[in-house]
Structure 1
């Protein structure tokens, strides 16, 4: 089977559940070995990379961690972290920080990645 490259874009917290379901379904359908997936979070969505006392947030982080273990790359926009006053040291170690989420999206699309925004 041909390999696929996909970049998911999220900038709204409310869309995390849908995005993660889409990622899971894609892996299930195409097979983990046949796909490269990157999730770029910017805007308000970067806040959800931070663990807190909210049960729903912790469940979200557990789902993100499980997908990371399957090879999904999770990325945070540095501009959005600054804008939301988030110390990047609070993010899970598996989250990659890029200078600008929009630039990351442009780069991946120029490399042929399919763009999906739930």
Structure 2
């Protein structure tokens, strides 16, 4: 149950903070949730990754469908050398997930100190 709560809190806090602050605030959100909810480091890493991965993937999908994948297809041609909005959404989610995982792991280990 803690895992689901951590994932949801990380995603919600990351979304709320990213409205007002730069993109890297998601790391602070994952850190705070992992620090506040006691978990093993591996579970914190997993919840930080999944929370931010789901958040960024859903936001990227939402933005992409708002303009019929026009911008996402052009950016994916530049970055991935293929016209695939879905792949760009996946890559964006993975990048955010890695940031969230590292921050959540740091928060979990800081709690042990």
| TM-score, normalised by the number of residues in structure 1 | 0.34
Q: Give the number of the structure whose alpha-carbon radius of gyration is greater.
A: 2
Q: More helix per residue: 1 or 2?
A: 2
